[in-house]
Structure 1
């Protein structure tokens, strides 16, 4: 009998397998399931990928193997239907969801679900294609829990989850903004980032907690947001004692003792319904690839030739940064144009929106003509959602991505190209690489995916996720300050004593604000020193330029986290852009202003206007997303609290920055309409229908009002805008 490797080779390379080969390989696979089920599953997946090569008379045997391996979701595909024995049919029936029509769980999903039905908490590490998130929907659809909190790291993931769970709206109110009140009558599903959990004031109970991508708890993975996630988890855990479900990929363990302390079971699985094949491109070109000059250009040429060769299959290209995404996708577009590749027949409604509201010169518009998409953390939500939708529907062939492919969105493809070996300024480590590789292949579509390595993969290492609020070594000040004295393990440490040295009343404000502890303490001291000489710069409601310059300057100097990347932003540029944004309330103004700034900066350098406009758009969208939609409003709310306290100490009238902060965060939309932006509706569309929506309607009823009045049919709306409103407001039937 041939070995597993030889069988896999035959499945991939032979044109057909005769009866003896098909039968013998099935027989071997059947016996292998008893001794090495992982290798057996790999053979079965590759057999599914090459189904037409197998001798037809052996198909029933292979269908039985699909069932024996627990691949029940695949048995719903037409070509694999046909179980011939009653016991197998019964086993298949046992894997059917109790609550979601037409959904079957695979073997290990069902085992995991059984744990979720017990009183134990569940921490699971499993591959991207495992289907961990389907179990979230199963829990929701069971209606066992009244108040469910789902924490995910990005708004894009939360938006995707919201769309999946909308069908349960009769039983649960979906809460996506901290200004929404919870429903005391029916259930609530809180779809929040960790920061929003910490800000939310209206939890009255939490029965079930989900943390997706829970590895972000780790204090050792250089994530500036880990403190927020630790504080959110610990707060909910000790306040409400909910059952919890933590999920993530490629993790070998967690802080020792945590599972026992919290009645949890840690489950690690390599079970997958797809397989991946590695192709080491870099080995073919030893010494010829590089990061600069001719070697960099040659590496790009090899990439573009490969992408053209793979034009009939979808491919995701991993890039180190938004700049690389834009640069590479643009060069590839030029490459296709130069070789006179055929432009796309696909029509993307997003294109007309870009022409009307950005510019017809934007490279993303040109990319779409060749079915090229881009995805990074800088684009507006409705754009990224549209691009992923186009890709998931098979319309886009190519998707150039940053690390958002790892943690920002659920998508996969036949081919993944590991092109850059950096993640921002840092090296891609084994954990990140495993997550990138995990996107190769797509359940129910591509049984076997390809990972093309343009760089040597990082060396394998064991991934243990520390939970700082529990382990406390290391622990950041922003987590330590939130712990009660009884929770602190080392009360004699210099770190803890430094926190205790902060006066109690100041400490409470610092805790509530939840950002850099000693940076906030410095702001207290600075405001006290300046309160008389600079009072007019401190006490304001709507800022003049000098007032904003003073406050944002204090924030920049004290609230930026160690290791946080701020480039290309500077203190002066942030003040200037924030003030102008508040004054003009117009993105296109910012883009044009930024373009003029870059043109002055570049002077007489031979850089085309189109390239500079591309950079101006990218920078502006990045500023909108990173600075205006979170950082600046958060900073302003932090200092607003501190100045109110300091002014009260001196008997002076305080300012109030909250109104201005909210306007910046919500793109100057009316308060009751800001939820529409959360739902992925372009601001341009919201402004066109806002006059038809009563100002006194609360934000929850706004959604129903638009649906009932069919405002998405307004003649002023572009087809793209109608589509975005329709898909987010016209709710699906109950699941």
Structure 2
């Protein structure tokens, strides 16, 4: 029986216990067995990583690379690719992107299925190169209108940059709600919420759903899964073809009920190999975890991601890494650190980390800082990146090593599926053939678990949330669901159209919110509707309403208590602030003068950013839009000629006091502090495209901009 452990075998080759020929013989046997093919590929990948050891057997190794379907590695490792058979092979697997880009066998299989008109659901490891297939489909010129659905705004921007760079001359790339379609050839890059908001999604040739496993309900907030199912329903009704991408799962249930034929491809095709190291340290034994982390970083010198459960854990890890020191920080990093210190203070975890040569990435960071961190890491300007799951979920990084410091996500344990997803960030095709994964705590249970994605859209039953049923297309409703909606429409005081329009809220929350409206006096309703900016009494009413609807989001930040004025005060300070930066500056001034100790100052700073990102930009605008519709509905019911319009307030919170196009540039990675210097009456109503062109033309000449402002603009545009 041949050895099934490539890691042990390559070690034996290294120690001259096993000959290179016998090693490759093991590889060939595995590649010849359907059940051991992925192990055979790992043999080949590990041999390529030790190429010098196999020089005498290079022809045999080349043949095995070919047998494994790892065609890109033929170009990288073998100069003799001009042989007629190899040259023909490379031409056959050449991508539309560029003559230099060659598919591996699984990429080619998926691409050919899609080009033939098939719908495809691909479930494959992180390193498989799924995005290259999307780019090749665009380059094929067979699709005029495409929609790419991604789970986060960070991924919108990463995808937008890649597509804009490669295809911006042929296609209009739409990524923000304020953009109007101008070209027939259009690529939409949107989150599910933005898909649901757009009214111009028609005659779509192909839509792509990235991280499709998020369609299933999880233990987290269901609202995003509901939004994604509604988006899927909408896209299925207007599109000719679909391609769904996600990490490795066993099956997807529910698509059959939607009467769409598709090919499900579960693939374990690996382009890198992983060395997984386990330490079994107890979760709360912080001293042992920090000690082991230090040993790992002293031994493994490559680019390293350190996964943590939360911002608090990140801060603790960064504090423990004070033994790290920058070799020679560049002028760019020195200037960046000075900028951070000026705007956010030296005690903040992000600032302290950068000073040591460590990047920090989590969900509450300003987007410009998130993107700068990834840029510095991918360009090897910093070696260490300490992050939460926001980086793990799709953002492309080039890391040789991944340390899983915590086996949790916030307070919940991560399962084997999520653990593999995090580990999959180690290694990168054509860059790091071997990825090293270090699990400080015990691994999640490896008992047989079937990773099946249950699609709520295709599994409608008595427990299916009514807001999901209200939001999906009529053609996707079952008879039972139609009956449920009909019964609700007859029994509820809230019209179904309002439920449909605000489907991210569950029905009970909307009904509670409507009850709040009906209990107000007509005078109070009119007061709420008339003023552009609220006085203290109006603000009290607004806060009461927001606390009914957004209790979950507010609870995470301890802003949900009925007898607490924190939310009211912050809303007032923000509304009447001159700018977003002025608000943040005042809050940080208060934190630095009232909190003692580096850690507490840093926690306070992160807390303010969480409020700004999660509550100001998301929860408050969402609640105000529902309040506006409920008030107008109630006025209509009472035959009162008053129209509520919270547009100004929504704009302030949603766009951080900036004009709409400027707010879109903040998503693209230009710091708010930089954008505030660029706002003038002349350009404030410009489109994103016009504003981007204007800034690209003049930013180098502007005397108001400093080196770091120009750095953010250069990186974004």
TM over 0.5, shorter chain: yes
Contact 1:176-1:678 at 8 Å conserved across structures: no
TM-score (norm 1): 0.89
Contact 2:119-2:262 at 8 Å conserved across structures: yes
Change (3 A) 1:523 1:373: same
Superposed CA RMSD: 2.6
Query: 1:696 Cα shift?
Result: 4.7
Please give the residue correspondences for 1:658-673 in structure 2 after superposition, counting only pairs within 5 Å.
658-673=647-662
Look up the match of 1:345. Answer: 329
Change (3 A) 1:235 1:395: same
Look up the match of 1:3. Answer: 3
Contact 1:236-1:242 at 8 Å conserved across structures: no
Change (3 A) 1:495 1:518: farther
Change (3 A) 1:626 1:163: same
Change (3 A) 1:232 1:560: farther
Contact 1:254-1:467 at 8 Å conserved across structures: yes
Say which SS state the counterpart of residue 452 (structure 1) adopts.
Answer: strand
Look up the match of 2:583. Answer: 589
Cα distance between partner residues in 2 of 1:534 and 1:564:
25
Please give the residue correspondences for 1:530-609 in structure 2 after superposition, counting only pairs within 5 Å.
530-532=520-522, 534-539=524-529, 540-560=531-551, 566-570=556-560, 572-584=565-577, 585-587=579-581, 589-590=583-584, 592-593=586-587, 596=590, 607-608=596-597
- Matching residue within 454, 457, 465 for 1:476: 465
Contact 1:210-1:246 at 8 Å conserved across structures: yes
Please give the residue correspondences for 1:703-714 in structure 2 after superposition, counting only pairs within 5 Å.
703-707=692-696, 709-714=697-702
Query: 1:620 Cα shift?
Result: 1.6
Cα distance between partner residues in 2 of 1:558 and 1:330:
38
Look up the match of 1:80. Answer: 78
Cα distance between partner residues in 1 of 2:424 and 2:692:
37
Q: Indicate whether 1:529 and 2:528 are aligned.
A: no
Please give the residue correspondences for 1:258-297 in structure 2 after superposition, counting only pairs within 5 Å.
258=256, 261-282=259-280, 289-291=282-284, 295-297=285-287
Query: 1:88 Cα shift?
Result: 2.2
Query: 1:647 Cα shift?
Result: 2.1
Cα distance between partner residues in 2 of 1:120 and 1:452:
40
Look up the match of 1:53. Answer: 53
Unpaired stretches in structure 1, ≥5 consecutive residues:
730-735
Contact 1:681-1:725 at 8 Å conserved across structures: yes
Q: Indicate whether 1:647 and 2:631 are aligned.
A: no
Contact 1:322-1:376 at 8 Å conserved across structures: yes
Write out per-residue CA displacement over residues 5-36 of structure 1, whole angstroms, 9 at most, x where no aligned residue: 2x532423654659x81223223423432223
Cα distance between partner residues in 2 of 1:424 and 1:326:
14
Look up the match of 1:396. Answer: 382
Change (3 A) 1:647 1:274: same
Say which SS state the counterpart of residue 210 (structure 1) adopts.
Answer: strand
Change (3 A) 1:71 1:717: same
Say which SS state the counterpart of residue 534 (structure 1) adopts.
Answer: helix
Q: Indicate whether 1:437 and 2:423 are aligned.
A: yes
Cα distance between partner residues in 1 of 2:310 and 2:119:
37
Contact 1:49-1:448 at 8 Å conserved across structures: yes
Query: 1:122 Cα shift?
Result: 0.8
Cα distance between partner residues in 1 of 2:93 and 2:678:
46
Say which SS state the counterpart of residue 679 (structure 2) adopts.
Answer: helix
Q: Indicate whether 1:407 and 2:393 are aligned.
A: yes
Look up the match of 1:209. Answer: 207
Cα distance between partner residues in 2 of 1:162 and 1:229:
20
Contact 2:234-2:472 at 8 Å conserved across structures: no
Write out per-residue CA displacement over residues 92-117 of structure 1, whole angstroms, 9 at most, x where no aligned residue: 21111124342111010000001111
Q: Report the count of equivalent residues.
A: 701
Unpaired stretches in structure 2, ≥5 consecutive residues:
none
Contact 2:3-2:26 at 8 Å conserved across structures: no
Look up the match of 1:732. Answer: none
Stretch of structure 1 that moved more, 395-404 or 26-35: 26-35
Contact 1:581-1:587 at 8 Å conserved across structures: no
Look up the match of 2:172. Answer: 173
Look up the match of 2:311. Answer: 322
Q: Indicate whether 1:426 and 2:434 are aligned.
A: no
Cα distance between partner residues in 2 of 1:39 and 1:118:
30
Cα distance between partner residues in 2 of 1:163 and 1:422:
32
Cα distance between partner residues in 2 of 1:695 and 1:589:
21
TM-score (norm 2): 0.91
Query: 1:393 Cα shift?
Result: 1.4
Look up the match of 2:110. Answer: 112
Query: 1:483 Cα shift?
Result: 4.1
